[in-house]
Structure 1
Amino acid sequence: MARTTRSAMLDVLTQDYIRTSRSRGIPNNIIIYSHALKNAMIPVLTVVGLRFGGLLAGSTLIETVFSIPGIGRYLVDGVLKRDFPVVQGTVLVLAVTFVVVNMLVDLLYAAADPRIKYE
């Protein structure tokens, strides 16, 4: 995520409106935090949303290996005991969580970039 943020910031800092802001005498901190960072957040938000899916999938493995009680361990125990309602319920909860997080990321796109509007 840090590399994505750095790459997006380097790309945004070379834009014409950043150069124009500097020529008007706006302080560098205001340019970076108000203008550049806000426009560089779109790729970062995408990475955060995708990373969350990996964390959900990885929690099952981590909870099983380290015997941590959680939803991933509960899912694995349900699979090993062939308890299909448990498996269906936990998969449904994980899928709904993933969909809700991706929906929130999509809504944050509009907050981060005023050019994006949902109708």
Structure 2
Amino acid sequence: MTNITRIDSGPRMSQAVIVNGIAHLAGQVGAEGGTVTEQTQAILDQIDVLLAKAGTDKTKLITAQIWCANMATDFADMNAVWDAWVAPGCAPARWTGEAVLATPGFKVEIIVTAAL
């Protein structure tokens, strides 16, 4: 039987789910209307908190999926914050794309997985 742990669960989703030694985080967004830099930093701060609740940290990241509302204008600013945050030597496999996000004020959404 597989043991599943859900963190910060609500009626629609959990902010993180742990199964088979992997923490799967839900997509994280920052406050609407902030700059790409502000939103990205807020997202990474939220990810740090959720990883800690799961019993892991950013040194154990496996994958990162990043969605930018506008790659042409947002990619470089998002990357500047991301690059400063990722632990040296611990960069995850990552993919980045452009997407229409849930709310027009969201500029970035980040989803990660991490080993425990």
TM-score of the pair, normalised by structure 2: 0.28
Structure having the larger proportion of residues in strand: 2
Higher relative contact order (CA 8 A, sep 6+): 2
TM-score of the pair, normalised by structure 1: 0.27
Structure having the larger proportion of residues in helix: 1
Larger radius of gyration between Structure 1 and Structure 2: 1
